[in-house]
């Protein structure tokens, strides 16, 4: 079995995990707001951000004490999720767009995996 990259993003249903230096951080999840106009982002069940409109996106992971790289990756992934949902992209295209963003921001060492099982 091939060893997973020590810097990875694991996409799983409506959530994801960030693996940085072989340490797993997550789950990061998202769900639609009750009025279906926004998206709420959570880390381990606690809200860390919200997308309200194309001009309103809030995210703050500081209270969780996560490494800066993990926070940056989480912000990129969360923004990518919003873009993918708005454009109607399927999972494959969302992963491709995410890979482009990672390269653009200098995080091309992170590989993207799609999983059907939750990570522990």
Under the banding of pLDDT at 50, 70 and 90, the label for residue 2 is low
- Render the burial of 75-106: b for 16+ CB within 10 Å, e for the rest: bbbbbbbbebeeeebeeeebbebbbeebeeee
**Residue at 77 is within a domain:** yes
**Residue at 8 is within a domain:** no
State the total domains in the chain.
1
pLDDT tens-digit map of 51-95:
988 888 899 999 999 999 999 999 999 999 998 888 888 888 889
**pLDDT the model gives residue 1:** 42
Q: Which residue has the tokens 């708005």?
A: 86
Identify whether the C-beta of residue 43 lies closer than 8 Å to the C-beta of residue 52: no
What residue numbers bound the domain in which 107 lies? 19-115
Angle between helices 68-87 and 91-104 (to 10 degrees): 140
Looking at per-residue confidence, does 59 or 3 come out higher? 59
Which residues on adjacent β-strands are paired with residue 41? 30, 49
């Amino acid at each position: 079995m091939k060893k997973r990259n020590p810097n990875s993003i694991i996409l799983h249903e409506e959530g994801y995990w960030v693996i940085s230096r072989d340490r797993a951080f997550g789950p990061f999840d998202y769900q639609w707001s009750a009025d279906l106009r926004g998206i709420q982002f959570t880390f381990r069940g606690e809200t860390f951000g919200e997308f309200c409109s194309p001009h309103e996106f809030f995210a703050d992971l500081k209270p969780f004490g996560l490494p800066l790289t993990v926070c940056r990756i989480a912000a990129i992934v969360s923004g990518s999720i919003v873009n993918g949902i708005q454009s109607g992209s399927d999972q494959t295209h969302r992963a491709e767009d995410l890979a482009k963003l990672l390269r653009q921001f200098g995080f091309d060492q992170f590989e993207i995996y799609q999983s059907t099982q939750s990570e522990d």
